[in-house]
Structures are given as C-alpha cells and as structure tokens.
Amino acid sequence: MASKKDYYEVLGLNKDASAEDIKKSYRKLAMKHHPDRNPDNPKAEENFKEAKEAYEMLSDDQKRAAYDQYGHAGVEQGAGAGGFGGAGFGDAFGDIFGDIFGGGRSGGQGNKVYRGADLRYNMEVSLEDAAKGTETKIRIPVQSTCETCNGSGARPGTQPVSCTTCGGHGQVRMQQGFFSVQQTCPKCHGNGKMVKDPCPTCHGAGRTKQNKTLSVKIPAGVDEGDRIRLSGEGEAGVNGGPTGDLYVVIHLKEHAIFQREGGNLHCEMPISFSTAALGGEIEVPTLGGSAKMKIPAETQTGAVFRLRGKGIKPLRQSDHGDLMVHVVVETPVKLTEKQKDLLREFETSTQADSGKHSPRNKSWMNKVKDFFD
C-alpha cells in the first residue's frame, strides 16, 4: 500500500485503544468502505485496504508492539499486501463478519461448551391451591450427564480425540470469492473432538435420558400463565456446560362455581322470584366458606353485588380482590294447580297498572313502538 498513514489514525483511535476498540472501529470502517457497497469507487476501496492493513497490524499483539516501538519499519516485512487474498484478511474479516452474522470463531478452541436446554412443564392447579399456595411433586424426563463416562461420551479408560476435519478447532474455513467464511465443522458439530470408542451407556452422546422427581412450591396468588423457574433443573450441558432451567407454567383448572379475573372472583347466584321481589338475605359461597348477603327488594336478573375482600390476593399485589355475585332470578317450575291459580291472580292484579310494576317492560315496548313507527 503506497500510503503510510499512522495505523491508529486510520482507525480513528488513540495508542491506548483496547483490542475491543480496534475491532469495533475496523468493523465500522469495513462495512462503510467495502467495495461491494461502493462499486466503481476507487477511494472507498483504498480506504478499505488501509483499514484492513491497520487492523491486521494492531490486532496482533506482537505486530502492534513492534509498530508502537519502531513505526512502519518494525512491521514492514509482515504488512499485508492490501489485496483480498491471504490468511491475514481471512482471519480479520472472518472474525468481524462472524460476529455480525452469528457465526463467530471458537478462537481455535475445541470442545465447545454448550448450556443445557431449558425445559417447560405445564401444571394444572385448582383455584383453591392457586389462592392459598401449595407444594407438589412432579416427575419429568431430562437429559442428564452420563455417570459412566462423566459426560465425555468415551468408554471409561479412553478419551475423545481431536477431529480430523477441523483439527480440533470446531470450525472450518471456506473461501468464497474474496470472503473467508468460518463454519461449524460438519463432522464434529463444533465440538472439536470425536469419540472413537463410545461409552456403552450413552453411546457417545455424553448424556442419558432419566426421570427425576422434583418438589415444586406454588406460591399463593399464582394465576393462569405464571411461570415458576427451577434453576439448574433443565437438561445437562454439553462438554461440562451449565445445566438449563425448568419452567413450570401454571394453568388453572376450570372451577364448578367461580371464574377468576385477576384478583376478583365471579359467580352466578340463583334467587327465587319472591326473594327478588320482596328482598331478603341469602348465603353465598366463597373460597373461605359461605357468607351472608342482603338482596334488596325489586332486584332484577343481571344485578351484580360485590363482597369486598372475598376474592384472591394476587401474587404481586398487597390487597385481596372481591367476589362479584351475579344474580339470576329463577322461574318457578313444576307448579301445582293452586300455585298456578295464585300466580294468575297475581298477574291479574298487576295488569291494571303494568307500567308501575314492570317499568322495564314498558320501556322496552316503547322502544319497539318507536322502531316500527
């Protein structure tokens, strides 16, 4: 490269810049001046080459030390030629684009460590248990570290060997035009190791399927969809990686009487025709037993009465919800002839002034009349 600009100046950095700063600056310049993004722009190509050379020098600790002490003369022999070939460009650019597109490099390290998978367990809980909390046991199948080989996958007394395809790196490099792309090794799947003599228990997987019983504490107030995290109770990691977690997802069983809405409970309460008309006191079921509730005279179907504090205390709230009682006036059935006669007599007595005794009916009939008129 004809230009002999200061490498730190090219990357816009000071001499005390960290390796991460150098990498970030090069990433930004490489994306900005890359020839594919700037066709027929010689200046952009030149800037790209300068940034590449500066990165190659400053990202290498030995080359950077020589440059800091002697300037360009200290790295004259090892400077990049500025083209798109060569291992220097592949290492630098492969690292940058590996980070961008999610590939990444293993840093030459085999035996990649993977965290175990998280697991999900769907648990059905009754409304009563959700309200007061409970503790229960569950049995789940998990992938656990093989006890025979301690997770190595190799028969006891033997060890895995380096992968012959990637040389133990876990990744292979492929040249695509002027790009050098790193990919996970297809033979060892990124582990960098291969098992020649598999463990007879896990058959080389390093993990075995087991069933384990766990105790789960359900806190009071949990609701539909809440998750309880059991740390480290998921699947075992690979190559000594950390174990995943288990998430217990709460699902409320359908209740015969109550429907839950946050901290509030709803229920329907049938009352007799005479109680609705004359008023009275009834017993209402709650999660803590029964409670008395007054029904005012002339109560209509659909009226809702609130019993404060008779609901549920949600998990993340300080106050109990309420019980909402939806009244349904029940029509008498299987009447005797005498009862029917009494109802006919009652109906006759109210027809003379139906608007007074049935205000809702009168209002509705007026709306129907207005509609047809």
Q: What percent of the chain has pLDDT over 90?
A: 36
Q: What is the pLDDT of residues 84-134, one digit of tens each?
A: 333 344 444 444 444 433 343 333 444 567 788 899 999 999 999 999 999
pLDDT at 86: 35
Q: Give, as one character, the DSSP assignment of residue 198.
A: B
Residue 260 amino acid letter: R
Q: How confident is the model at residue 256 (pLDDT cuts 50, 70, 90)?
A: very high
Q: Residue 283 in 3-state DSSP?
A: strand
Confidence of residue 358 (pLDDT cuts 50, 70, 90): low
d(CA 179, CA 265): 63
pLDDT at 80: 40
CB 10 within 8 A of CB 54: yes
pLDDT tens figures, 50-65? 888 888 888 888 888 8
CA-CA distance, 51 to 12, in Å (whole number)? 10
Residue matched to tokens 């007799």: 272
Q: How far apart are CA 127 and CA 218, in angstroms?
A: 12
Could you identify the residue written with the tokens 């990357």? 11
Please give the domain boundaries of the chain with CATH numbers for all domains.
Answer: 7-101 (1.10.287.110), 119-252 (2.10.230.10), 259-372 (2.60.260.20)
Residue 75: pLDDT band (50, 70, 90) is low
Residue with tokens 């004809």: 2
Residue 52: strand, helix, or coil: helix
- Rounded to whole angstroms, how far apart are CA atoms 122 and 227? 9
What is the crossing angle of helices 87-101 and 19-33, to 10°?
Answer: 90
Contact in structure between 257 and 326 (CB atoms under 8 Å): no
Run of H or E including 326: strand 323-330
Flag whether the pTM goes above 0.75.
no
CA–CA distance, 40 with 312 (Å, rounded to integer): 70
* Angle formed at CA 85 by CA 88 and CA 79, multiple of 5 degrees: 45
Bridge partners, 146 (sequence order): none
CA–CA gap between residue 243 and residue 14 (Å, rounded): 42
pLDDT at residue 320 in the model = 93
Taking CA atoms, 289 is separated from 196, 256, 341, 362, in Å, by: 67, 15, 40, 41
Mean pLDDT of 182-191: 79
3-state DSSP call for residue 46?
helix
CA dist 296 and 102 (Å) reads 69
Do 111 and 191 contact (CB within 8 A), yes or no?
yes
> What 3-state DSSP class applies to 273?
helix
pLDDT tens string 206-249: 888 889 899 999 999 999 999 999 999 998 887 777 889 999 99
Euclidean distance between CA atoms 42 and 98, whole angstroms: 26
Whole-angstrom distance, CA of residue 101 vs CA of residue 322 = 53
Tokens of 120: 């999900």
